[in-house]
Amino acid sequence: MGPRLRAAGLALPLVAFVSVTFLGPMVNLLTKSFYDPEVADALPETMSALRDWDGQGTPSDEAFAATAREFVAAREERTLGRTANRVNRVVSGMRSTIMGDSREMAEAAAVAEDAGVEMGGAFWRETMIGIDARWGGPEPWRALRAAGQRLTARHYLKALDFERAPDGGYQRAPEAWRIYVPLFWRTFLVSLGVTLLCLVIGYPVAHMIANSPPKRANVLLLLVLLPFWTSLLVRTTSWIVLLQNQGIVNDFLVAIGLIGDDGRIAMIYNMTGTFVAMTHVLLPFLVLPLYSVMRAIPPAYMNAAVSLGATPFQALRRVYWPQTLPGVGAGCLLTFILAIGYYITPALVGGQSGQLISNMIAYHVQTSLNWGLAAALAALLLGGVTLLYVVYDRLVGIDRIGLG
């Protein structure tokens, strides 16, 4: 066995493992964001009868008959509600239309069967329009056909706050109804803010550790590494204990008379809580790469700059800062990427106003069960993060991510 094969053979088990347990789910997630066969599979005859319809007026008699047959059958099997929910996500209001009308359609079918009336296309056209005049227009049919598309951009359109226009196309939702784009924007701004805050706090901290004598540097490094290793839940708990209304900080401020007992400050379950806790959690991720860059900078440069007549501030700005830029870039990017996908901390301490895009994704996975939309939101986030990694790779190399 050649060395090439042996080396590849050693890496192969993990490559296979990652492919199955991680890459597979990622591909599946991306697929879910644009491939949605559920309605098409639930109403196959309806979809094939609607295929040739030009979208104007009403479809053929066969479409009426197929729709009625499949509605009534699915209603009996109790699967119609699920399908109606799916259609409702494409055009809202369709759930009640389908569920309400199908009940009357089932009754009409029962009466017709007892009377021995043949239930053909013409019968169902008349019956359905009689039950609900909307079936005499194109809107509900367009909704059914749109929901039945297997390959679809609708999850992405929704994730970008587009809505269906009356003519069947898409338009941007009115400002007040936009949810996701503002939330992406907020997530971006919060991540940026947290990253900058971490940089402002972390830069002097890293500098102090890098320029302390070894013994003291080790102790100071411990103060950064202990939070890094401490459970996220522990750190989040402690911020609740510190910042809540009856918490330690408020108690202290009341005790020293800075605020009254009725003037306790709301520092948690809002954006402040998200900001403080996220900064605390992410600070080590910025300090550690900065520290490793700063440690390698010989003090001789600064000394030289000063003895050549630079003030300490000039020396700092023109000699020290440029040398730390690789660490600043790497640390900031890493912190930003971690911040943008943050879930647990905003969910626990963010309250209503401190929620980020990841919380919305979790909501659609667990509560609204709109998995296609959750997949599209996750895919958009993944696209943004991938873009950042390309930048990171250009700056420092993706295989050089350290562990501090």
Closer of 66 and 337 to another protein (Cβ):
337
The Cα–Cα gap between 45 and 62 comes to 9
Residue 333 beta carbon to another protein: minimum distance, rounded to whole angstroms: 11
Give the distance, in angstroms, between the CA of residue 63 and the centroid of all CA atoms in the same chain. Answer: 39
Q: Any idea what the Cα angle at residue 333 is, between residues 328 and 338, rounded to 5°?
A: 130
Residue 325 beta carbon to another protein: minimum distance, rounded to whole angstroms: 18
Angle in degrees, 0-180, between the axes of helices 371-395 and 321-340, rounded to the nearest 10: 170
Scanning residues 202 to 221, which ones bind another protein (CB under 8 A)? 202, 204-205, 208, 211, 220
Q: Which x/- pattern over 238-257 shows residues binding another protein (rule: CB under 8 A)?
A: xxxxx-x-xxx--x------
Stretch that binds another protein, among 61-69, 110-118, 137-145, 336-344 (CB under 8 A): 336-344
Q: What are phi and psi of 163, to 5 degrees?
A: -130, 165
- The HSE-up count of residue 376 (CA atoms within 13 Å, CB side) is 19
CB 137 within 8 A of CB 58: yes
Residue 181 beta carbon to another protein: minimum distance, rounded to whole angstroms: 18
Specify the DSSP element, H or E, that contains 358.
Answer: helix 357-366
Closer of 34 and 53 to another protein (Cβ):
34
Scanning residues 10 to 69, which ones bind another protein (CB under 8 A)? 10-15, 17-19, 21-26, 28-29, 32
Residue 34 beta carbon to another protein: minimum distance, rounded to whole angstroms: 14
Scanning residues 270 to 309, which ones bind another protein (CB under 8 A)? 280, 283-284, 299, 302-303, 306
Specify the DSSP element, H or E, that contains 171.
Answer: strand 170-172
Scanning residues 345 to 384, which ones bind another protein (CB under 8 A)? 348, 358, 361-362, 365-366, 371, 374-375, 378, 381-382
CA distances from 10 to 3, 6, 18, 95 (A): 11, 6, 14, 54
The Cα–Cα gap between 15 and 23 comes to 10
Stretch that binds another protein, among 58-66, 77-85, 198-206, 324-332 (CB under 8 A): 198-206
Q: Which of 112, 153, 201, 253 binds another protein (CB under 8 A)?
A: 201
Residue 400 beta carbon to another protein: minimum distance, rounded to whole angstroms: 10
